[in-house]
Amino acid sequence: MQDALVAAANDLVGDGMQETGITLTDTLRHYIAITLARYMREQVHVDGLTIRVVSAMDRRADARELRGLADCCLIACSIFERRLRRAGGSLRHYSGLGQTAYGAAALTEQAYSFPHMRDVIAAATGHPPEGVRDLIEAARAGSSHASKQLSDDGIIAFPTQRFHH
């Protein structure tokens, strides 16, 4: 992988951390930078993501494949959230898939930090949640940044509530 792409991705991660106020461990910061750099060169395949993750879990795929699927969920949730939503999915669903795939790949820190990583990437790439509806969905998917923004406005996104269109 080209050092210039990793350096650019690392700068993006730093910008996202500053924008959100989320402090990531050095391990996570570098992990996200390398993942972003990879997807600067490769196409992200978000179609059929649920089926692909479930199939991989059912056949006990190796850690490398599971990590790739989890990374795809992370990028999709961070940058292509609207596309996922148009396909009938929710941020909460795809975040859960990503966390599950990271956990199955024995990447525990990434699994637990998925919402933070998602917030940092979304902010860094200009795809943060917009409006109350998006903030509520992000908060329900585990985003502490969205929860804080809502809380500042006196709103609590209870996980059991359904937001009807």
Contact at 8 Å (CB) between 101 and 56?
A: yes
Q: How far is CA 67 from the centre of its chain?
A: 13
In-domain check, residue 156: no
In the chain, how many domains are there?
Answer: 1
Q: Which of 129, 39, 125 is nearest to 85 (CA)?
A: 129
Domain that holds residue 41: 3-128
Which token pair is 88? Answer: 């009938």
What is the DSSP-derived secondary structure letter of residue 42? Answer: S
What are the per-10-residue average pLDDT scores of the chain (165 residues)?
A: 84 93 94 92 81 93 95 92 78 92 96 95 82 76 78 69 48
pLDDT for residue 81: 81
**What pTM, to 2 d.p., does this model score?**
0.84
80: in domain: yes
Is residue 140 exposed (0-12), middle (13-18) or buried (19+ Cβ within 10 Å)? Answer: buried
